[in-house]
Amino acid sequence: MAPTLGEQQSLTSILLGASPVVQLVLLLLAGFSIGSLGVIIYKFRQLRAARKQSERFLEIFWEAKNLAAISKASTELRQSPVAHVFRSGYQELQRLTRPSKKAGPGTWSENAPESTDLGGIDNVERAMRRATTQEVTRLEKALTFLATTASTAPFVGLFGTVWGVMTAFRGLAGAQTSSIQAVAPGIAEALVATAVGLAAAIPAVVAFNHFAREIRVLTADMENFSAEFLNIAERHFI
């Protein structure tokens, strides 16, 4: 006869009745899962703000055509990596040049220098490249934890599975009966460890791939903007 509802073990009873090693594995996987959720929420907000503020900065950059005004507006877009790259290049350009008094207002040349050279442009390029590297490093922060969870959690769950199965068969050796009921609790807790490991790893994999793509897009935006800014500097400042 099939067991009644009261005779069937619930998931809670399985977890509470698991061996200490399996419980430790489950706690570790729960920590991975909670940490991954926190990282996912943090990175989602950070990258969304970076994307929106970068789009806003590019609109300001191509509409204003005044480097001083653009620099002032960019200070309010602190989450934009493109704005940070611009500020680094603009600050380096200011160090190398003196404002021209011949240029009229409202144009790229309003802050044009009286003279500069290719070495100065190379310095601006290095400053923007350095800023791009710093921003990529900032955007990739905490992604290592997602990658670690995605690659480690299934194996941690597998360890709990192997330990649970081993415990179940060791208990079967000392039992008076060799029926499936004797090993069912150990097998159940072993399968729970596998399921929890996959539950922790799958969201981490999906989130990591999504965030990595977002960062690649932002990196391309920074590199394209650097190239455009250097072209403008060469046309108007040399």
pLDDT in tens, 64-110: 878 888 999 998 999 999 999 999 999 988 887 755 444 444 455 54
Measure Cα distances from 30 to 35, 76, 184, 209 in Å: 8, 39, 24, 22
Instruction: For the full predicted model, state whether its pTM sits above 0.85.
Output: no
pLDDT for residue 197: 92
pLDDT for residue 234: 82
pLDDT for residue 105: 46
pLDDT of 175 > 90? The answer is no
pLDDT for residue 224: 95
Q: Which residue has the higher pLDDT, 194 or 14?
A: 194
pLDDT for residue 66: 85
CA distance 146 to 205: 7
The residue type found at 155 is F
**Enclosing domain of residue 188:** 17-237
Asked whether residue 3 is domain-assigned, the answer is no
Q: Which residue has the higher pLDDT, 115 or 202?
A: 202
Query: What's phi and psi for 23, nearest 5 deg?
Result: -65, -40
pLDDT tens-digit map of 8-57: 456 566 666 667 787 888 899 999 999 999 999 999 999 999 999 999 99
Asked whether residue 11 is domain-assigned, the answer is no
By residue count, the chain amounts to: 238
Asked whether residue 8 is domain-assigned, the answer is no
Asked whether residue 84 is domain-assigned, the answer is yes
Asked whether residue 4 is domain-assigned, the answer is no
Q: Which residue has the higher pLDDT, 89 or 121?
A: 89
The pLDDT mean for the chain works out to 82
pLDDT tens-digit map of 101-120: 444 444 555 454 444 454 57
CA distance 29 to 32: 5
- Using pLDDT thresholds of 50, 70 and 90, give the confidence band for residue 222: very high
- Max CA separation in the chain (angstroms): 101
- The two structure tokens encoding residue 25: 């594995």
Q: Which residue has the higher pLDDT, 164 or 229?
A: 229
Asked whether residue 7 is domain-assigned, the answer is no
pLDDT of 185 > 90? The answer is no
- The two structure tokens encoding residue 194: 């596998």
Asked whether residue 95 is domain-assigned, the answer is yes
pLDDT of 182 > 60? The answer is no
Asked whether residue 122 is domain-assigned, the answer is yes
Domain count, the chain: 1
pLDDT of 180 > 70? The answer is no
